[in-house]
Amino acid sequence: MKSLHRIPTWVQALIFFLVVGVVVQMAFAQGWLSEYWQQILMAGTILAVSALGLNLKYGYGGLFAIGHAAFYGIGAYASALVTKDWTTQWSGSPVGGLAGLLGIEAGFIAAAVVISLLDIGHRRRRLRERLEELVSPFEASVLTTTLTILVAGVILVVVGGGVGWLVRRAVLAVGPSLFGVLPEAIAQQVVFLVALIAGAILAALVGFVVGLPLLNLTYDYLCIATLGFGIITYVFFNNADQLIPTMKGARGMVAIPRLTTWPWVLGVFAVAIIVMRNFIYSSTGRAILAVRDDLTAADTMGINSYQYKVLAYTVGCAYAGLAGGLYAHLYAFLHPSNFTWLKSIDPFVMVVFGGVGSMTGTTMGAYVFVTLLEGLRVLPAELIDWRYVIYPLILLFVMLFRPQGIMGTSELGFLKRPKAAAEEPEKVSASEKATSESTASGSEG
Amino acid sequence: MDNKVIKLLLRALAWGILALVAGVVVRLVGGVIIDSPVTFVQQMLNGLQLGFMYAMIAVGYTLVYGVVKLINFAYGDIFMVGAFVSFFGITQYGFSFVPALLLATVACIFLAVIIDRVAYKPLREAPRIAALITALGMSIFLEYFTALKFVFSPDYIAFERPFELVSWEVGGIRFTNIQLIVAGVSILYFLGVQYIVGRTKIGKAMRASAFDKPTAQLMGINVNAVIGATFALTGALAGTAAMLYATAYPQIFTFMGLQPGLKAFVAAVIGGIGSIPGAFVGSLIMGFTEAMTVGFVPYGSTLKDGVAFILLIAMLLIRPTGIFGDPFEEIK
């Protein structure tokens, strides 16, 4: 009955974010924090959102994937294209960018839904089995692969293209009048919100499409393959002006409206962390943890491990895209060099330093990282270059002396595992805990 | 319809599809060769030069992966240190080619062994991901640490070639003495590594450790010493490759190890990680693809990194174990 006396977690979270938001906003308004430190605080919070995504992939999902910066970049560029179009109308219509982006996303989702409804993977396997009775396995695989590519291609072009075109036309037709009703300032904020969400969805879609084949690989190969994807994306960003001139490729995209403000950053962070908390303590979240802890055991318990890996990866990518959108509108300038694979290591350092599989730790890690990197600017000029020497050293020392990170897997405040879900006695060793978790989620699913 | 007819039709269809794909590929490649045979051969030579260089690095990756199951991310940076050491040997002490090459080789052997002792050895029993992250950290540390002003330099430095560049022209195709040296040294090293791993006692110990560490230990093999020897061997490869690389592409900077390192690793994966001939063949494919992209694809010089990794992802999807299998099984 102890839990009755406690304050409900949602009230705790509300109070926490209100207090933090108001205090920091006051600090900004009163000028207690310089413009420079305001930006750093916002950058730290944005990085925390991105690192939370990586924590889902690596900390909770156990997927050693290092292409996070690519998805950060996809979200950043996509949302920047939408809002920039709203102000400059380079495509001829204020909602041109939005219409294009939503069209692509709707088309992809429609095609993916149709492909999964038709159960193509399963049909392909059955066809292959039947063909193998007639011809050699190699010939059978050639035939089924060709057929699958053809069918999927036709669905993508017909369904995806059709739905995408319809959505694009609809947004182009309705968008201007819909936003025209609102006052200019509010309309811009609404567009910004839609752009952020659309950017996150695009990152998730790309993550999904990339993850589908790659998540069959185990971690060394997954690491190299995702790293490769990161480099391909970087090359794409560098040459993107061939495709979309406003992205400016290697020259860097400029004049993105500065829309990221403290309320936006904190709001997104609050939503992100609360969604992550509820997600990871749900039965789906427990299944993801079970897959991380013991893939074979999870499979035996009837958890479709591959499906949960793809889910964790996709949601993680969405977080990166969301953070990328905020980032683009904070600095108003995007350059491909901000999304190289070396930048994928930054969120890694945060997660590893703060605590692998801890939201509190990851957030802390993000702030420590940003503060350290920027705080060390006060060093005398000849020592400034040491900043980037120190941060891999932190990574090395953490790995050698505390591989689970500062926080380990523990959480603070409202991020703690709810009591009802943690029925097992307090003092259970980690391995036993994992087994009981996988058993619990297995029997539910 | 008769079952036999259906069977025949299906087989014909399958091979028809394959023939179609092969025909398109041959048409594309053939068209290129017919249109500009001189450029093609020239690019092929460039690709081979690059490939032989990658091969030395890739063999290093594959050896370490075979024995300790670790992607030694810091390997590209050991390579970079080798290039800088040979640069200092040449400019500060007036070394000629061979002493500079030896200096770089010895320096890299020491560096590789020290990195293993300091960073990887304490994590031998830890989860493999911990060692992988440590390797990444080590790589970034080496890059930024050597970029400090009092260590090496944050700038791009022009590398002084220790010997004159001589080139011959045969029918419009340019050969250089560097290409010959690179190919020769690379093949020598390849044969040397094959010999060490396949025919010597330490090689036998390496194979045993790669196959089953606990059992190898029980058989009286000092596994840590064997791993040290493996790292030393890879260090020698990196040092020599670095000197040759800097001579062929005479510009050095502290991030120079990043791209060749990654691509050599990709080459090793394509060839079959853990396989020495695989690393060699994979590297040649890699160098060839890159040179062809630069030569014949529009905007090729900016796209070449992307193409290299598209090759990797395609390979991982079709055949994750690469072209060749496990080397420590094959070389008996």
φ, ψ dihedrals at B142, nearest 5°: -60, -40
Of B69, B140, B320, the CB nearest to A392: B140
Q: Is A313 exposed, middle or buried (0-12, 13-18, 19+ CB in 10 A)?
A: buried
Token pair 């991310």 is found at B73
How many CB atoms are located within 10 Å of the residue A90 CB? 14
Q: How confident is the model at residue B325 (pLDDT cuts 50, 70, 90)?
A: low
Q: Is B18 exposed, middle or buried (0-12, 13-18, 19+ CB in 10 A)?
A: middle
Of A213, A220, A225, the CB nearest to B71: A220
Is A219 in Cβ contact with B132 (below 8 Å)? yes
Inform me whether the C-beta atom of residue A127 falls under 8 Å from chain B C-beta atoms. no
Question: Which of B23, B14, B10 minimizes the C-alpha distance to A146?
Answer: B14
User: What span, in angstroms and rounded, lies between the C-alpha atoms of A315 and A98?
Assistant: 22
In chain B, whose CA is at the least distance from the CA of A233?
B306
First to last CA, chain A: 29
Residue A384 has pLDDT above 80, yes or no: no
Kindly state the average pLDDT of the residues A282-286: 91
pLDDT for res A76: 93
- The tens digit of pLDDT for each residue in B3-34 reads 788 888 888 888 898 899 999 988 887 887 78
- What are the chain B neighbours of A388 within 8 Å (beta carbons)? 140, 144, 147
Residue A403 has pLDDT above 80, yes or no: no
Residue A70 has pLDDT above 60, yes or no: yes
Residue A428 has pLDDT above 70, yes or no: no
Is A388 in Cβ contact with B71 (below 8 Å)? no
Is B71 in Cβ contact with A223 (below 8 Å)? yes
Residue A408 has pLDDT above 90, yes or no: no
ipTM of the complex: 0.83
φ, ψ dihedrals at B220, nearest 5°: 90, 15
Q: Which helix (H) or strand (E) holds A177?
A: helix A161-181
Q: What is the percentage of chain A residues whose pLDDT exceeds 70?
A: 92
| DSSP secondary structure, A413-438, as one string | GGGSPPTTT--S-S---HHHHHHHHH
φ, ψ dihedrals at A260, nearest 5°: -75, 115
Residue A426 has pLDDT above 70, yes or no: no
- What are the chain A neighbours of B71 within 8 Å (beta carbons)? 220, 223-224
Kindly state the average pLDDT of the residues B281-300: 86
Kindly state the average pLDDT of the residues B296-300: 77
pLDDT for res A69: 92
B134 Cα to chain A: minimum distance (Å): 5
Tokens of A39: 């930006």
pLDDT for res B109: 94
Q: How confident is the model at residue B108 (pLDDT cuts 50, 70, 90)?
A: very high
Asked whether B268 and B282 are in contact (CB, 8 A), the reply is: yes
Exposure class string for B29-54: b at 16+ Cβ within 10 A, else e? eeebeeeeeeebebbbbbbbbbbbbb
Asked whether A309 and A222 are in contact (CB, 8 A), the reply is: no
pLDDT for res B195: 92
- What are the chain B neighbours of A352 within 8 Å (beta carbons)? 133
Is A225 in Cβ contact with B7 (below 8 Å)? no
Q: What Å distances lie between residue A422 and A55, A427, B58, CA to CA?
A: 21, 11, 49
- The tens digit of pLDDT for each residue in A16-59 reads 888 888 888 888 888 787 888 888 888 899 999 999 999 999 88
Mutate to test the interface with A, among B71, B141, B155 (most CBs of A within 10 A): B141
Residue B331 has pLDDT above 70, yes or no: no
Asked whether B134 and A400 are in contact (CB, 8 A), the reply is: yes
Residue A286 has pLDDT above 60, yes or no: yes
Is A352 in Cβ contact with B310 (below 8 Å)? no
Q: What is the percentage of chain B residues whose pLDDT exceeds 70?
A: 97
User: What span, in angstroms and rounded, lies between the C-alpha atoms of B39 and B25?
Assistant: 19
The lowest-confidence range among A132-141, A382-391, B69-78 is A382-391
How many CB atoms are located within 10 Å of the residue A72 CB? 34
Residue A306 has pLDDT above 60, yes or no: yes
Residue A331 has pLDDT above 80, yes or no: yes
Asked whether B143 and B253 are in contact (CB, 8 A), the reply is: no
Question: Which of B57, B79, B58, B74 minimizes the C-alpha distance to B131?
Answer: B74
Token pair 């400034």 is found at A384
Asked whether A291 and A306 are in contact (CB, 8 A), the reply is: no
- What are the chain A neighbours of B313 within 8 Å (beta carbons)? 213-214, 225, 228-229, 232
Is A220 in Cβ contact with B7 (below 8 Å)? no
Residue A430 has pLDDT above 70, yes or no: no
User: What span, in angstroms and rounded, lies between the C-alpha atoms of A229 and A212?
Assistant: 13
First to last CA, chain B: 53
Q: How confident is the model at residue B332 (pLDDT cuts 50, 70, 90)?
A: very low
- What are the chain B neighbours of A224 within 8 Å (beta carbons)? 71, 265-266, 269, 312, 316
pLDDT for res A5: 55
Domains with residue ranges and CATH for chain B: 3-331 (1.10.3470)
Q: Give this prediction's pTM.
A: 0.86
Is A143 in Cβ contact with B13 (below 8 Å)? yes
Token pair 């659309």 is found at A198
In chain A, whose CA is at the least distance from the CA of B309?
A228
Inform me whether the C-beta atom of residue A385 falls under 8 Å from chain B C-beta atoms. yes
Q: Which helix (H) or strand (E) holds A356?
A: none
- A126 in helix, strand or coil? helix
Question: Which of B1, B321, B14 minimizes the C-alpha distance to A132?
Answer: B14
Residue A429 has pLDDT above 50, yes or no: no
Residue B260 has pLDDT above 60, yes or no: yes
Is B269 in Cβ contact with A238 (below 8 Å)? no
In chain B, whose CA is at the least distance from the CA of A143?
B14
Q: Is B233 exposed, middle or buried (0-12, 13-18, 19+ CB in 10 A)?
A: buried
A window 195-254, beta carbon within 8 A of B: 213-214, 217, 219-221, 223-225, 227-229, 231-232, 234-236, 238-239, 242, 250
The 3-state secondary structure of chain B reads CCHHHHHHHHHHHHHHHHHHHHHHHHHHHHHHHHHCHHHHHHHHHHHHHHHHHHHHHHHHHHHHHHHHCCCCCCHHHHHHHHHHHHHHHHHHHCCCHHHHHHHHHHHHHHHHHHHHHHHHHHHCCCCHHHHHHHHHHHHHHHHHHHCCCCCCCCCCEECCCCCCCCEEEECCEEEEHHHHHHHHHHHHHHHHHHHHHHHCHHHHHHHHHHHCHHHHHHCCCCHHHHHHHHHHHHHHHHHHHHHHHHHHCCEECCCCCHHHHHHHHHHHHHHCCCCHHHHHHHHHHHHHHHHHHHHHCCCHHHHHHHHHHHHHHHHHHHCCCCCCCCHHHHCC
Inform me whether the C-beta atom of residue A148 falls under 8 Å from chain B C-beta atoms. no
How many CB atoms are located within 10 Å of the residue A418 CB? 12
Asked whether B245 and B290 are in contact (CB, 8 A), the reply is: no
Kindly state the average pLDDT of the residues B165-181: 83
Q: Is A192 exposed, middle or buried (0-12, 13-18, 19+ CB in 10 A)?
A: buried
Angle at alpha carbon of residue A137, lines to A133 and A138, rounded to 5°: 145
Residues β-bridged to residue B173: B170
Between B184 and A138, where is the model more confident? B184
Asked whether A21 and A262 are in contact (CB, 8 A), the reply is: yes
pLDDT for res A110: 92
Q: How confident is the model at residue B41 (pLDDT cuts 50, 70, 90)?
A: confident
pLDDT for res A439: 43
Average pLDDT of the residues of chain B: 86
pLDDT for res A45: 93
Of A220, A382, A389, the CB nearest to B144: A389
Tokens of A434: 């994992």
B62 Cα to chain A: minimum distance (Å): 13
Is B122 in Cβ contact with A400 (below 8 Å)? yes
Q: How confident is the model at residue A271 (pLDDT cuts 50, 70, 90)?
A: very high
Residue A86 has pLDDT above 50, yes or no: yes
Is A342 in Cβ contact with B140 (below 8 Å)? yes
pLDDT for res B129: 77
Inform me whether the C-beta atom of residue A65 falls under 8 Å from chain B C-beta atoms. no
In chain A, whose CA is at the least distance from the CA of B132?
A220
Residue A135 has pLDDT above 70, yes or no: yes
Is B303 in Cβ contact with A399 (below 8 Å)? no
φ, ψ dihedrals at B125, nearest 5°: -95, -5
- What are the chain B neighbours of A356 within 8 Å (beta carbons)? none
Average pLDDT of the residues of chain A: 83
Is A135 in Cβ contact with B310 (below 8 Å)? no
User: What span, in angstroms and rounded, lies between the C-alpha atoms of A247 and A369?
Assistant: 29
At a CB cut-off of 8 Å and minimum separation 6, what does B321 contact?
A: B272
pLDDT for res B113: 94
pLDDT for res A382: 66
φ, ψ dihedrals at A133, nearest 5°: -70, -30
Question: Which of B118, B53, B88 minimizes the C-alpha distance to B260?
Answer: B53
User: What span, in angstroms and rounded, lies between the C-alpha atoms of A316 and A200?
Assistant: 10
Kindly state the average pLDDT of the residues A86-96: 77
pLDDT for res A3: 52
Q: How confident is the model at residue A433 (pLDDT cuts 50, 70, 90)?
A: very low
Angle at alpha carbon of residue B54, lines to B48 and B57, rounded to 5°: 150
Question: Which of B171, B167, B166, B169 minimizes the C-alpha distance to B38?
Answer: B171
Q: Is A44 exposed, middle or buried (0-12, 13-18, 19+ CB in 10 A)?
A: buried
Inform me whether the C-beta atom of residue A146 falls under 8 Å from chain B C-beta atoms. yes
Question: Which of A377, A268, A374, A270 minimizes the C-alpha distance to A329?
Answer: A268
Is B149 in Cβ contact with A382 (below 8 Å)? yes
Is A220 in Cβ contact with B137 (below 8 Å)? no
How do strand B173-176 and strand B167-170 relate by DSSP bridges?
A: antiparallel
pLDDT for res A443: 39
- What are the chain B neighbours of A213 within 8 Å (beta carbons)? 313, 317
Residue A180 has pLDDT above 90, yes or no: no
Is A228 in Cβ contact with B3 (below 8 Å)? no
Beta-carbon contacts below 8 Å between A and B: 132
**How much is the CA Rg of chain B, to the nearest whole Å?**
22
How many CB atoms are located within 10 Å of the residue A132 CB? 15
Is A225 in Cβ contact with B312 (below 8 Å)? yes
pLDDT for res B106: 93
In chain A, whose CA is at the least distance from the CA of B147?
A385
Is B134 in Cβ contact with A64 (below 8 Å)? no
In chain B, whose CA is at the least distance from the CA of A218?
B320
- What are the chain B neighbours of A345 within 8 Å (beta carbons)? 136, 140
Of B11, B303, B313, the CB nearest to A229: B313
How do strand B167-170 and strand B157-158 relate by DSSP bridges?
A: unpaired
